Amino acid sequence: MNSADNGSPVLSVNGVSKRFGGTQAANNLSLELYPGEVLALAGDNGAGKSTLIKMISGVYQPDSGEIKYQGETISNRSPRDVRDLGIETIYQDLALADNLDVGINIFLGRESMKSVFGLPVLDRKFMRREATGALKHLGIELNNMAMPVRYLSGGQRQAIAISRAVYWKARVLIMDEPTAALGVPEQREVKDLIKRLQNDGVAILFISHNLTDIFEVSDRIYVLERGRKAGERLISDTDEDEVVAMMMGRILDD
Ligand SMILES: Nc1ncnc2c1ncn2[C@@H]1O[C@H](COP(=O)(O)OP(=O)(O)OP(=O)(O)O)[C@@H](O)[C@H]1O
Ligand SMILES: [Mg+2]
C-alpha cells in the first residue's frame, strides 16, 4: 500500500535522541508510519533499532524529541499506557508467560475475572473462548487451548503474540526480529500473518536482519547506522546492495 493513499500517519517520531553513557544510541531520528503499511527497520548490530522501538513502546524515554500516536504525544507514557492506546510490541522471547495457557496469554495483564461466592477468580473459560476466536480470525488452529504455551513451537508462540495484538485492536504492531528463531515453515506463517494484518489496516514496524524477508513483506525500509538515519527508501525503489551500503555507512542521506 502506498503511504500517500492513507492520509495522516498513525505514528510519528520527531527528532528523538537517546544516549547511554558514551554511546549515542539514537541520534535525532524521525519517521512516519501510515495505516496499513509495513515499514522495515534495518541496521547492523548495535545500530539503534531496539533503542528506537523501546522509545516508541515506552520502555525508554527519549532524551529529546517527541513521539506522536494519532496526533497526540506519547513521549512520556509507560509501556502499559502505550499498549493500552493501541501500540503492541512483540519481542521474540519475552512475549509470553510460559506456564500459562493460550487463553490467559492473550489476556496477559488484562485478565478477565468472574465472581465465585463473592470472590474474584480468573474467568479461564471466557478467556479461552475469546482466544480461540482471535486465533481463528488469523487462520490459526490449535487443538489444545489449555496447553501451557511453553509446549508450543516458536511460530505458534509468535502467532499467539500477534493474536493478542489483534484481539486488543492494536493500530500499530512493532515486531523485533519476529522470524529470527523460527524454522522455515513458521517464518512463512508469520510473514502471512503480517500481510493479513496489513490488509486490516494495521501499521507494522518490523525489525529484521534478513533482507530477503524485508524485501518480501515491507513497503518501505528505514536504515540506521550507529544511531543515525542512513536512509529511507520505498522497497520498490531500492535493492539489497543499496541497503547494505546504507547499513555500512557508505550512503548517508541526511
Ligand atoms: N540499556 C542500555 N545501556 C547501555 N547501552 C545500551 C543500552 N541499550 C542499548 N545500548 C547501546 O546502544 C547501542 C544501540 O543498541 P540497540 O540495542 O538499540 O541496537 P540494535 O540495532 O537493536 O542491535 P541488534 O541488531 O544487535 O539487536 C549499542 O551500542 C548498545 O550497546
Ligand atoms: Mg536489537
Nearest CA to ligand 1 atom 3: 20
pLDDT tens track for 34-86: 999 999 999 999 999 999 999 999 999 999 999 999 999 998 899 889 988 99
3-state SS assignment for residue 219: coil
**160 alpha carbon – ligand 2 mean position (Å):** 21
**141 alpha carbon – ligand 2 mean position (Å):** 31
pLDDT tens track for 133-159: 888 877 777 777 788 888 877 777 777
| Ligand 1 atom closest to Cα of residue 49 | 21
Please state the φ and ψ torsions of residue 67, each to the nearest 5 degrees.
Answer: -125, 130
Band of residue 254 on the pLDDT scale cut at 50, 70, 90: low
Average pLDDT over every residue of 212-222: 95
Which of 16, 49, 209, 225 has the most ligand 1 atoms within 8 A of CB, as the residue to mutate?
49
Alpha helix positions (H), the chain: 49-57, 79-85, 102-106, 124-137, 154-167, 184-199, 211-217, 240-247
Predicted pLDDT of residue 87: 94
Q: In the block, which residue shows the cell 477468580?
A: 121
pTM higher than 0.75 = yes
Band of residue 3 on the pLDDT scale cut at 50, 70, 90: very low
Residues 6+ apart with CB under 8 A from 212: none
The whole-angstrom separation of Cα 10 and Cα 96 is: 26
User: Domain coordinates of the chain in residue numbers?
Assistant: 7-247
54 in contact with ligand 1, CB cutoff 6 A: no
18 in contact with ligand 1, CB cutoff 6 A: no
151 in contact with ligand 1, CB cutoff 6 A: no
pLDDT tens track for 85-99: 999 988 755 557 778
Average pLDDT over every residue of 164-175: 88
170 or 104: which leads in pLDDT:
170
Nearest CA to ligand 1 atom 28: 46
The whole-angstrom separation of Cα 245 and Cα 232 is: 12
The whole-angstrom separation of Cα 245 and Cα 43 is: 10
The whole-angstrom separation of Cα 65 and Cα 17 is: 7
Average pLDDT over every residue of 151-175: 83
26 in contact with ligand 1, CB cutoff 6 A: no
Average pLDDT over every residue of 26-40: 97
Nearest CA to ligand 1 atom 26: 45
Q: Looking at the CA of 209, which ligand is closest? A: 1
Among 234, 200, 230, CA closest to 214 = 234
The CATH number of 7-247 is: 3.40.50.300
DSSP string, 130-180: HHHHHHHHTT---S-TTSBGGGS-HHHHHHHHHHHHHHTT-SEEEEESTTT
Average pLDDT over every residue of 230-234: 96
Give me 55's grid cell.
Answer: 522509545
**What value, to the nearest 5°, has the Cα angle with vertex 179 and ends 174 and 184?**
150
**55 alpha carbon – ligand 1 mean position (Å):** 12
Q: Looking at the CA of 49, which ligand is closest? A: 1
What percent of the chain stands above pLDDT 90? 50
**200 alpha carbon – ligand 2 mean position (Å):** 27
228 in contact with ligand 1, CB cutoff 6 A: no
Residues 6+ apart with CB under 8 A from 17: 24, 26, 27, 28, 29, 62, 63, 64, 65
Predicted pLDDT of residue 27: 98
What percent of the chain stands above pLDDT 70? 95
Q: Is the pLDDT of residue 213 over 80?
A: yes
Q: Is the pLDDT of residue 253 over 80?
A: no
The whole-angstrom separation of Cα 19 and Cα 1 is: 34
Nearest CA to ligand 1 atom 2: 20
